[in-house]
Copies of this chain bind each other. A is one copy, B any other.
């Protein structure tokens, strides 16, 4: 729920600084869907004028991570059921082929980077930092697109992953366990072996798994609002 200023360094605070800080906070579930992002509040936190903050917010709105309601302000997005379905459908269209391509192009160095990624993920889990683990597991997918050397898809997946994080915040089923790192591990192996077909298939089933771990049957908007109101940004 807090927006840490994190690194103190003397680098000038740009719109991108603010934008990625907020994005990361949302991604890590430190900001719940529906939370109001006041402009004055943000400019205080980051020590810049509202001009910069507004630029950052517009950028996030373009990624569907927040929603800007005219004369009302910016709020962390609350993806609808339909939108949630759509996001995963698009991911299922883009990512398997991308994983295939990554498997074809991956170098030993790339694989090492992915391994490192998983390691960090485990570290975060052990430290009980569930938010950071979620963030890293998302970045894993972006990293694969980078290995596939496809900037356009990488950008798209970056956004889709962030949106997925919001979807998970809203629709994740309590019952379903987090068996993610297994799937990621299998993917690394396939990519390391340059086994394109297997990588594609694994990514496909991984996404289907994720998709089915969501409760996308109902949970109307009203109830969402009520819940966030009652639990005050940190429930769930």
Contacts and interface: CB of A to CB of B under 8 A. Distances in A.
A185 interface: no
A83 B150 contact: no
Interface in A147-181: 150-153, 156
Interface stretch (A84-92, A130-138, A196-204, A228-236): A84-92
A98 B151 CA distance: 22
User: How many copies of this protein are present in the complex?
Assistant: 2
A17 interface: no
A90 B156 contact: yes
B55 A86 contact: no
A152 B86 contact: yes
A94 interface: yes
Contacts of A152: 83, 86-87, 89-90
A59 B60 CA distance: 11
A82 B55 CA distance: 29
A97 B90 CA distance: 10
Contacts of A3: none
A104 interface: no
Given A55-B58, A58-B58, A97-B93, A86 B156 contact: no
Contact of A153 (B62, B82, B86, B151): B86
A55 B62 CA distance: 12
A178 to B, nearest CB: 26
A144 B83 CA distance: 18
Contacts of A83: 151-152
Interface of A: 55, 58-59, 62, 82-83, 86-87, 89-90, 93-94, 97, 150-153, 156
